[in-house]
Amino acid sequence: MNKIKFKIDGKSVEVEQGKTILYAAKQVGVEIPTLCHNEKISRTTSCFVCVVKDLKTGKYLPSCSACPTEGMEVDVSSKEVQDVRKTALNLLLSEHSGDCEAPCTVACPAHASVEEYVRAGKNGDFLKSLKIIKERIPLPLSIGRVCPRFCEQDCRRNIHDKAVAINDFKRFAADMYYDEYMEELPELTGKKVAIIGGGPGGLGSAYFLRLKGIECTIFEKMPKPGGMLRYGIPEYRLPKNILDKEIKHFEKMGIEIKCNVELDKDIYLKSLKKDFDAVLIAVGSWKPSSMRCEGENLADGGISWLEQIARADWTGENPGKTIVIGGGNTAMDCLRTSVRLGSNDVSCFYRRTEKEMPAEDIEIEEAKEEGVNFCFLTAPLALRKDKNKLILTCQKMKLGEPDASGRKRPIPIPNSEYDVEADTVISAIGQKTIAPKDCKTNRWGDVDATEANMKMYENVFAAGDCVSGPATVVEAVATAFTAAEGIASFFKNQDYKAPYTINVSRGHWNSLGVDDLVYLKELKKGDRVPQRLIDIDKRTTTMQEVSATFTAEELKREGERCIECSCTAKGDCKLKEYSEDYNASPEAIKGDKFKSGYDNRHPEIIHDREKCIKCGVCIKICSEVVNESLLGLKDRGFTAKVGTAMDRVLPEFCKDCGACVEECPVGALAWKNKTS
């Protein structure tokens, strides 16, 4: 065999005549990306992702087909070549459709693999489900109860009826399998981290750090750990014996929690920085915001009021006639706790309307069921004391133009002031962070940490509400994940940056119609399983947990309602892989997408043409390897598509083979049954 001598990036290479540049490069360890090249079939040459440059002619060559000639000099890795590859990928992405990741997972601040744990639950494997959940959510017993369910808001099932009851999978999996579940813990590396604060941010960080073999000690200023979970969220939403069970798991993992230790009083950042390899600040956001009205010190701050009741194990005096100002979840907690403490006159004053209320709908609904009054478009002006009673002066409001938050701005109506009498007035209009000493703050007064790795300075990191301002438990554990990565990288003298990822999306469900989705199988009909609640009598008189855990049978039904939106090629898509390698983006080049539709008539295989990159591999696999020639490229130009002759359904006999499915570089041809 004749040998050809040529150069790849200046390096001399020798290869048999007739072999391609791609092949020759591989021999010397240079990987060239390609989507359409496949060893099993004849050369295709369509994607042009494998482009290299012939330095003598200045021409771009598809290395999957071009063979070197004697003395040729090929550039395979210069900026110019990479730019052409990136453009090819950008072009392919610009016509690509589908959902790399399911919208629920994208919406989850912690990016838990929602579709996967729902599927495991549907199949009855809740231990597997729990394992997937805990990859991103270290507090499933708690989050399974208190999460505002970002995932469900974006769930595509909303197009048809209501979202899948996703969070209930977490709750069930954790309720049933927490005792038997234990993470595989790596050997300790010897590195130690001090964590200030035993709430979701601190616990979450400790969890992820321990999974990396990093030892953690949590310092908690309260008598018991849990932070907001214990002292903010009421017993009837998250029973504290459940929280105890959750925290016990952390102790089982070897995470030390020291309570009644307060920063800047018992311990100091200066010495912690020296005694530990890193320090993480997760002190939360605990200071009630000011109402900015006269006499506001006569009101209780919402979170402080709850804390006081929490410290008394969710007992307290009847607050009498109670007015809670604010429309968030803390306000709802105060209202519903007041009811449970015996008050039969509890009102919520909110300056906008129900539509603008930040509290979860379910909270508002349940508060109403429990007898809470709602006074909308009402703002406090002044508070004064008259004998034993509090007198709240209010003003009626109307809605104006939307403000920066996108909600309509409340505007006072002149001469609409009036007085109301109350025994207790609680201001629950938000919380502020009290940043510890030596912590830089941002313009909102929150601890200032770099978003990418949660680093503050030197070996000090931060996570949770103290960085984000008051947010949700799941958002706190999301920052905890990043902080743990940040600290682990710091120990390796690196700056952590989340890997670049792309996500092609069909769009939000509210911009889509029923026909815009791709259904792997016939859609299972069935309304969402309703949440079972305890009797209303018990709800208004006891602190007993309001909602019940779903049953396995109910969750199976829920699981079957899942449309399984995410790409069938998730984790196995070359287009995504190379796009991420080359920093390509679905947003880079905009334009029409060809609506070529999909074909799910075959019992086992789905053909989603809108994902197809027209590499033609399936066509050649079917004709050259399988000897069937069932597929072909049809039409021209931008409207070219792969299809069967006369658009007939793929015959069933081809299912045994699936060679096309196996070789499809993207998710255009795939098995309907998702297994992962």
Q: Which of 13, 24, 32, 51 lies at the binding interface for another protein (CB under 8 A)?
A: 51
Taking the least distance from each CB to another protein, the nearer of 159 and 640 is: 640
Taking the least distance from each CB to another protein, the nearer of 478 and 631 is: 631
Going by their DSSP bridges, the two strands 346-349 and 373-375 should be labelled as: parallel
Handedness of CA 297, 302, 308, 312 (dihedral sign): positive
| Contacting range for another protein; rule: CB under 8 A; set: 59-67, 198-206, 244-252, 460-468 | 59-67
Closest approach of Cβ 51 to another protein, in Å?
6
Taking the least distance from each CB to another protein, the nearer of 60 and 491 is: 60
Closest approach of Cβ 54 to another protein, in Å?
11
Note whether 302 and 290 are within 8 A (CB).
no
Tokens of 561: 């309602």
Buried-state track 425-449, b at ≥16 Cβ within 10 A, e below 16: bbbbbbbbbebbeebeeeeeebbbb
Say how many CA atoms lie within 13 Å of 590 toward its Cβ: 1
Q: Which of 23, 33, 34, 48 lies at the binding interface for another protein (CB under 8 A)?
A: 48
| 114 is a site residue for another protein (CB under 8 A) | no
| 542 is a site residue for another protein (CB under 8 A) | no
| 637 is a site residue for another protein (CB under 8 A) | yes
| 65 is a site residue for another protein (CB under 8 A) | yes
| 47 is a site residue for another protein (CB under 8 A) | yes
Identify residues 411-450 at the interface with another protein (CB under 8 A): none
| Contacting range for another protein; rule: CB under 8 A; set: 47-55, 116-124, 428-436, 467-475 | 47-55
| 77 is a site residue for another protein (CB under 8 A) | no
Closest C-alpha among 451, 354, 452, 335 to residue 399:
354
CA–CA distance, 445 with 289 (Å, rounded to integer): 12
Taking the least distance from each CB to another protein, the nearer of 399 and 633 is: 633
Handedness of CA 624, 630, 635, 640 (dihedral sign): negative
Q: Which of 408, 409, 602, 614 lies at the binding interface for another protein (CB under 8 A)?
A: 614
Closest approach of Cβ 659 to another protein, in Å?
20
Q: How many CB atoms lie within 10 A of CB 162?
A: 14
| Contacting range for another protein; rule: CB under 8 A; set: 65-73, 187-195, 303-311, 488-496 | 65-73
| 33 is a site residue for another protein (CB under 8 A) | no
Place of tokens 């996703």: 166
Taking the least distance from each CB to another protein, the nearer of 118 and 622 is: 622
CA–CA distance, 388 with 448 (Å, rounded to integer): 44
CA–CA distance, 523 with 560 (Å, rounded to integer): 9
Tokens of 213: 């073999």
Closest C-alpha among 449, 536, 429 to residue 490:
449
Closest approach of Cβ 175 to another protein, in Å?
50
Going by their DSSP bridges, the two strands 73-75 and 11-16 should be labelled as: unpaired
| 95 is a site residue for another protein (CB under 8 A) | yes
Closest approach of Cβ 28 to another protein, in Å?
22
Closest approach of Cβ 32 to another protein, in Å?
14
Closest approach of Cβ 613 to another protein, in Å?
8
If residue 557 lies in a helix (H) or strand (E), which one and from where to where? helix 552-561
| 59 is a site residue for another protein (CB under 8 A) | yes
| 87 is a site residue for another protein (CB under 8 A) | yes
CA–CA distance, 623 with 632 (Å, rounded to integer): 9
Taking the least distance from each CB to another protein, the nearer of 50 and 379 is: 50
| Contacting range for another protein; rule: CB under 8 A; set: 92-100, 168-176, 397-405, 603-611 | 92-100
Taking the least distance from each CB to another protein, the nearer of 135 and 663 is: 663
Tokens of 20: 């391609």
Say how many CA atoms lie within 13 Å of 199 toward its Cβ: 30
Taking the least distance from each CB to another protein, the nearer of 34 and 431 is: 34
Closest C-alpha among 157, 113, 150 to residue 510:
157
Going by their DSSP bridges, the two strands 605-608 and 598-599 should be labelled as: antiparallel
Taking the least distance from each CB to another protein, the nearer of 84 and 434 is: 84
Taking the least distance from each CB to another protein, the nearer of 457 and 638 is: 638
Closest approach of Cβ 42 to another protein, in Å?
9
Closest C-alpha among 327, 344, 333, 334 to residue 299:
334
Tokens of 221: 């200023």
CA–CA distance, 148 with 109 (Å, rounded to integer): 11
Distance, C-alpha 35 to centroid of its chain: 29
Residue type, 15: V
| Contacting range for another protein; rule: CB under 8 A; set: 87-95, 263-271, 530-538, 668-676 | 87-95
| 43 is a site residue for another protein (CB under 8 A) | yes
SS3 labels along 507-527: CCHHHCCHHHCCCCCCCCCCC
Q: How many residues bind another protein, per CB under 8 A?
A: 34
Note whether 154 and 143 are within 8 A (CB).
no
Q: Which of 391, 533, 640, 657 lies at the binding interface for another protein (CB under 8 A)?
A: 640
Taking the least distance from each CB to another protein, the nearer of 629 and 673 is: 629
- Give the per-residue contact string, 574-613, with another protein (x = CB under 8 A; - = no): ---------------x-xx--------------------x
Tokens of 174: 């954790």
- Interacting residues toward another protein by CB under 8 A: 43, 45-49, 51, 59-60, 62, 65-67, 84, 87-88, 91-92, 94-95, 589, 591-592, 613-614, 616, 632-633, 635-640
